[in-house]
Amino acid sequence: MTIKSSQTLVSEALQEINTISTDDAHEMYNNNECNLIDIRDIRELQKEGQVEGAKHIPRGMLEFWLDPESAYFKQGKFDLNKEMVLFCAGGLRSALATKSLKDMGFEKVSHIDGGFGAIKQSKFKIV
């Protein structure tokens, strides 16, 4: 049995998904064109801070909160017609999560290159 490494999974995901810069994400957010979604663990948010205006979905609940047929679906929390822009701490989890949403059928989904580390150095406000 051959098991793919997490690095291989991320590399494969990056070939299939849309990766955007912090500047592009900031512009989309300011123009109200996206759902900015932080998939980091709640402890990471408490320790590092949060992006002002971003919605939080723990990585383990992402597919369930965004599936209208799931018992965990968050009705009205997200505009499903807008781009879903995901980020994590460094961009690895969000790459896998973006691919998962794409596999679910979401067409307008991307992740931020460099994750929260890059966001802290960008125009976004951290609270």
| Second CATH level (architecture) for the domain 6-119 | 3-Layer(aba) Sandwich (3.40)
Tens digits of residue pLDDT in 65-124:
999 999 999 999 999 899 999 999 999 999 999 999 999 999 999 999 999 999 999 999
Q: How confident is the model at residue 37 (pLDDT cuts 50, 70, 90)?
A: very high
Pair 39, 113: CB distance under 8 Å: no
- pLDDT score for 108: 97
- Going by pLDDT thresholds of 50, 70 and 90, the confidence category of residue 35 is very high
Domain ranges of the chain: 6-119
In 1-127, alpha helices (H): 6-16, 22-30, 42-48, 62-65, 92-104, 115-119
Averaged pLDDT of the chain:
96
